[in-house]
Amino acid sequence: MVARNAAQAYARVGLETGVVAANPHRLVLMLFDGAICALSDADMHLTEGRTAQKGEAISRALAIINEGLKASLDHAQGGKIAGDLGDLYDYMSRRLLNASLRNDRAAMLEVAQLLGELRQSWAAIGEPAAQPTAAPAVLARAAA
């Protein structure tokens, strides 16, 4: 238990350090990674029958989508693209709420795939060193 708490504290410090050092483009990539990771956790909990933990993981993904990705949209500069992304984030939120209520793995995987595709597109328009991290793990689980 102590080792697990220490590992979680270490991970939290690493994340906080990464956030402080990140530029706005990298922060959005981190939001995508966080949401994808939360959905991977939700999928694992669903598979193992841990309903409460599945719900918590989906709630984390929803918070990242709504309070991070959607809230960061600049509708003044982004125009139609920002509006379309906002609509897509709304769709993802609805799918995840249904996934949580109905234990719908396909809906969770659909949202994880959409987030992975958006992440890849966002990485491609930014820094060349930005490579996908979390998305392949979730997509690999979807294929299993």
Q: Please give the DSSP secondary-structure letter assigned to residue 126.
A: S
**How far apart (Å, rounded) are the C-alpha atoms in residues 43 and 40?**
5
In whole angstroms, how large is the CA radius of gyration of the chain? 15
| Reported pTM | 0.75
* Interior angle at CA 111, CA 105 and CA 112, nearest 5: 85
Please tell me the predicted confidence (pLDDT) of residue 24: 85
What is the C-alpha separation between 14 and 22, in angstroms, rounded? 12
Chunk the chain into consecutive blocks of 10 residues (it has 144) and report each block's average pLDDT, rounded to whole numbers: 44 47 85 97 96 97 97 92 96 97 97 97 75 48 46
Please, what are the domains in the chain? 24-143 (1.20.120.340)
How many contiguous H segments (helices) and E segments (strands) does the chain have?
Answer: 6, 0
